[in-house]
Structure 1
């Protein structure tokens, strides 16, 4: 049950700002206070793997706490150095999210499925124009991929309603010995009674990380035609988050996010989609 709870937190994508320069109380937390909420709605995150099930998003818990330096934010434990209004630097631990695509537990066992939340990854077309057999392998037929723990460092630069961040993450448990680096820009603005936040990020993932999860070798199949050594990958993500207060506790909220996957990942016989979508629409309650 704890693993399922952590997985749900990882897929919500809800991150807060601490008390420094904070005006929007729906996404900001006063120092030494817990922020606990839950969202109810309809949504899903697609799975790019062959025969991979999409992740239904129906009930999304939201738990965070920020102290003077230490913090916990939806599964991420961190420590901030000399936080200021315009710049913060933090070191953190969190579960690696790459393995989530390979988890075989069924969210429908604990969440109510929706009609559009169970659409899994597309199975490749068996009809090849050159008459060759399709080159793909199901996620159900490969060796298990292990969970890992990320250790990372992040620096944020704030300017009015904008934020730039640079994040570097490494495998703390030596499961794949890989790393990733992400640069992100976020801009907040208001439209009528809505608070909106747009973000654009570029993430580089090393070949060790990508090859461990998406490479195919004799550990997975004896068919050498399916073996694949994955290279590094570059992923571009863009998204929009929005909310509108109904009263002091309730608010409308939503999230739309798209991630494009580069050839280092999509050339794998294990992958059948070139993008991942993450959408959720519903209402949230802040305790």
Structure 2
């Protein structure tokens, strides 16, 4: 699933292509909005909110989309061939006089009143790349369920918005804690650093084509996707296991020497907790 920095980049591309321009084409290829036609209206702005995209159009309307695992928005000059996938995967087409934005495989696409945007994003915690960022509130949200595994708490967009599976694994490594450590067991000094560290990682990567957390030369990431290669710090083999609440299990990477805390036994099933799951 694209993470907050990737979605921020998508919003910037769409904003650059469409903001301030009159729509010459508006085509939503989902049954509920198949007859919606906003041609002739002006795109006001495109912004990200966590992993959500909000395209605001004059007349008080917002096109809300979410990429989840496979979705993408591509921007083309009007003489370019569309190359984001086969035509049957197109869910949205927004055209202006010189650019066309095409949404592929968008699992969430809805047209709502701008005044009702909270219906789509009101459940989100402070946005790591947004103007509402509040590190104290983000930390309080994370610590509100002290028994919850750190990795799960970081992925919960209701705590703080923008972290995905890559940053979850990388943050846990930088904090020296396994993703299965109860968040309340994280030492106070490391917990206090968590919000600023998370924000720094996303901010330094939002303008980069390739995500990098290691800072220097060599591999781009400390642990994510590196099992069973050696840890960049200590040489111990990186491990991988699924982590989740039973509804969405995700591969999670860690160094058993550099990170302290519980880890799953090989082959053990994920812990199942009963939770509702709004769109993250």
**Same fold, TM-score > 0.5, yes or no:** no
Q: State the TM-score, normalized to the length of structure 2.
A: 0.28
Structure with more of its chain in strand, by fraction: 1
- Structure with the bigger RCO (C-alpha within 8 Å, sep 6+) is 1
Structure with more of its chain in helix, by fraction: 2
Q: State the TM-score, normalized to the length of structure 1.
A: 0.28
